[in-house]
Chain A
């Protein structure tokens, strides 16, 4: 029964959510909206679990001076610095927590991380465009054409270059992407069906 009841619940609600896609009647839609709200509430409660996980793992390492304990200490302090003022001062715009800690501290750090992506792209492109096989040559040549076609003076190199690049992006590139998408969409539907029909049960944990 420990496994049958969750599988039954998954089946009922899974089938209901598929069916409601085809039934626009408010009687059905209202229930679907309510179910989605339940999911949001359950997910909201999971943050308690997440916080406990962070504190347990990192707190323990700090306590027994494990490897990298100093980093963990910074993490735990940062955690409390965000949580405690957030609880008492609020987290909306204009509050100290939001403006000082999130907008002025976290967001610049995240932006820095995001900006480093440019360098990672450069190093990855360097490896990808090394001409060693004929496939790599085609890739490198196409990449050079697309890059040249995307720069502001591309039409000065050759007036039809932007059109060539548009064709590369809209025809061969789009075709390949759509092929992958169709396969992935079917795989996603199959995975959903496996879960709803109880074929896939790994999400239930221990047998």
Chain B
């Protein structure tokens, strides 16, 4: 029985090692001297019960050069054991989670053993000459197994305490929003700095009106689940209202099919706000393509063929940002851009007349509509920013004195 289990272990280990391709020879021998001791297995906290933490003490015996440790797990003490993780020889703890074809699940028993892998040189009789007494020396991997530990049950947590910092910040922000919305509703005057790009919206639509050419509004290239697209749709209604007021068509090219209905509703709402529902043209909400550069060519084609006079690029943009804004620039249109994608901001800054940078972009809908609830939310954002700046300054001062708790507290896991 013992021989059978040993043979099985060797086969499993051989397969595991072969899979990871880290052998200097395919043949292994079993040893005991280098076996890790004091193996401890505990549930990994703050997860859905899909991992276990394993720690061990390396052998105190001299003469072993450990190459790596392997962690094996089984659902019963008798096995079969499956290789779950491999760590380097300097490590004495590891996290064991689901791997290929083997899943760690909550409330299931797991038996763990840690195997130390080192190499040894063996004297092997020369099989080519049975009569000879000569031997060959071969280098082989030696596996020294710890005792089997278990059963240990992974436990699914109901709260990830590593995210307590984010939870508290979200709660603080929520409270701030509620307080500021209440104050705004009570009639408190909220002050905001002037943003040039917002004033320029009227200027751009005015230019289009003078020229009698359409307005082009690109709400980014992402779907509605992207928060920048949601913010853009809020603005689309406001821009459509202004365009409808001046009786100027607004063309909205779309990169996502799902956006068709959303944009249609937003523009229709804008025309209704302006009291011109009859002027709404459904065909001006155009789905182009999901493909990035097919969409880009389509939009640049609209700019050049329909001679649009005011361009709004508001939303999430990627590599197409510069192509769109440069073609728009050469067409002579007045251009306003806004995005939170920092890598695209320099392109917009260079090619557009006005650019709403990061937070300005999200503030625009509140400042354009002057809706008290939205203004309250915007003020809460300002206070939250002030709180973060204070935290950062405090953290810098504390760091100077060697106190690091704020830095570690703000780390997100």
> A and B: partners?
yes
CA–CA, A189 and B177, complex, Å: 11
Smallest Cβ-Cβ distance to B298: which chain A residue: A75
- Chain B residues closer than 8 Å to A54, beta-carbon distance: 287
User: What residues make up the interface of B, taking CB atoms closer than 8 Å to A?
Assistant: 46-49, 106, 156-160, 163, 166-167, 170, 173-174, 177, 181, 223-225, 227-228, 230-231, 233-234, 236-237, 256-258, 260-262, 265-266, 268-269, 272, 283, 285-287, 290-294, 296-297, 301, 305, 319, 322-323, 326, 340, 342, 345, 347, 349-351, 357-359, 361-363, 365, 371, 373-374, 377-378, 380-381, 384-385, 388
Verify A110–B177 contact, CB threshold 8 A.
Answer: no
- Chain A residues closer than 8 Å to B256, beta-carbon distance: 46, 50
Verify A190–B362 contact, CB threshold 8 A.
Answer: yes
Taking a contact as CB atoms closer than 8 A, the residue among B106, B225, B373 that contacts A199 in the complex is B373
Known: A53-B260, A193-B377. A110 touches B49 (CB 8 A): no
Known: A188-B227, A199-B373, A206-B272. A106 touches B294 (CB 8 A): yes
Please, what's the 1-or-0 string for A7-38, where 1 marks a CB less than 8 Å from any CB in chain B? Answer: 00000000000100111111101000000000
The answer, yes or no, to whether A155 is at the interface (CB within 8 Å) is no
CA–CA, A180 and B346, complex, Å: 12
Taking a contact as CB atoms closer than 8 A, the residue among B269, B301, B350 that contacts A127 in the complex is B350
- Chain A residues closer than 8 Å to B294, beta-carbon distance: 106, 109-110
Smallest Cβ-Cβ distance to A21: which chain B residue: B163
- Chain B residues closer than 8 Å to A186, beta-carbon distance: 173, 359, 381, 384-385, 388
A-B interface pairs (CB < 8 A), number: 198
Verify A124–B326 contact, CB threshold 8 A.
Answer: yes
CA–CA, A9 and B265, complex, Å: 19
Q: How far is the CB of A170 from chain B (nearest CB, A)?
A: 15
CA–CA, A26 and B48, complex, Å: 6
Verify B266–A205 contact, CB threshold 8 A.
Answer: yes
Smallest Cβ-Cβ distance to B324: which chain A residue: A120
- Chain A residues closer than 8 Å to B158, beta-carbon distance: 23, 25
Q: How far is the CB of A28 from chain B (nearest CB, A)?
A: 8
Q: How far is the CB of A172 from chain B (nearest CB, A)?
A: 14
Verify B156–A25 contact, CB threshold 8 A.
Answer: yes
The answer, yes or no, to whether A128 is at the interface (CB within 8 Å) is yes
The stretch of A92-100, A111-119, A145-153, A158-166 in contact with B is A111-119
Taking a contact as CB atoms closer than 8 A, the residue among B272, B285, B358 that contacts A184 in the complex is B358
Known: A23-B160, A54-B287, A186-B385. A124 touches B351 (CB 8 A): yes
Given A53-B260, A187-B362, 16 additional A-B pairs, CB 8 A: A25-B49, A42-B258, A43-B257, A46-B257, A47-B257, A50-B257, A50-B290, A60-B283, A71-B305, A109-B294, A184-B362, A188-B227, A192-B230, A193-B377, A199-B374, A200-B230
- Chain A residues closer than 8 Å to B319, beta-carbon distance: 114, 117
- Chain B residues closer than 8 Å to A63, beta-carbon distance: none
Please, what's the 1-or-0 string for A44-81, where 1 marks a CB less than 8 Å from any CB in chain B? Answer: 00111111011011001000000110010000000000
Verify A25–B377 contact, CB threshold 8 A.
Answer: no
CA–CA, A149 and B230, complex, Å: 40
Verify B233–A120 contact, CB threshold 8 A.
Answer: no
Verify A124–B350 contact, CB threshold 8 A.
Answer: yes
Verify A57–B283 contact, CB threshold 8 A.
Answer: yes
Known: A18-B170, A128-B350, A180-B358. A56 touches B283 (CB 8 A): yes
Verify B157–A205 contact, CB threshold 8 A.
Answer: no
Taking a contact as CB atoms closer than 8 A, the residue among B177, B237, B292, B365 that contacts A193 in the complex is B177
Smallest Cβ-Cβ distance to A125: which chain B residue: B350
Q: How far is the CB of B258 from chain A (nearest CB, A)?
A: 4
CA–CA, A127 and B323, complex, Å: 15
CA–CA, A110 and B296, complex, Å: 10
The answer, yes or no, to whether A203 is at the interface (CB within 8 Å) is yes
- Chain A residues closer than 8 Å to B384, beta-carbon distance: 186
Most B CB contacts (10 A, CB to CB) among A46, A123, A206 go to: A46
CA–CA, A57 and B253, complex, Å: 12
- Chain B residues closer than 8 Å to A180, beta-carbon distance: 340, 342, 345, 357-359
Verify A187–B234 contact, CB threshold 8 A.
Answer: no
Known: A43-B258, A124-B322, A180-B357. A188 touches B362 (CB 8 A): yes
Verify A46–B323 contact, CB threshold 8 A.
Answer: no
What are 12 A-B contacts with C-beta separation under 8 Å? A24-B160, A48-B257, A57-B283, A109-B294, A114-B293, A121-B322, A180-B358, A182-B385, A186-B384, A199-B371, A205-B269, A207-B272
Verify B261–A49 contact, CB threshold 8 A.
Answer: yes
The answer, yes or no, to whether A156 is at the interface (CB within 8 Å) is no
Verify B340–A53 contact, CB threshold 8 A.
Answer: no
Taking a contact as CB atoms closer than 8 A, the residue among B170, B224, B293, B351 that contacts A110 in the complex is B293
- Chain B residues closer than 8 Å to A51, beta-carbon distance: 257
Q: How far is the CB of A105 from chain B (nearest CB, A)?
A: 11
- Chain B residues closer than 8 Å to A46, beta-carbon distance: 256-258, 260-261
- Chain B residues closer than 8 Å to A60, beta-carbon distance: 283
Q: How far is the CB of A206 from chain B (nearest CB, A)?
A: 5
- Chain B residues closer than 8 Å to A190, beta-carbon distance: 173, 177, 362, 377-378, 380-381
Q: How far is the CB of A94 from chain B (nearest CB, A)?
A: 21
The answer, yes or no, to whether A89 is at the interface (CB within 8 Å) is no
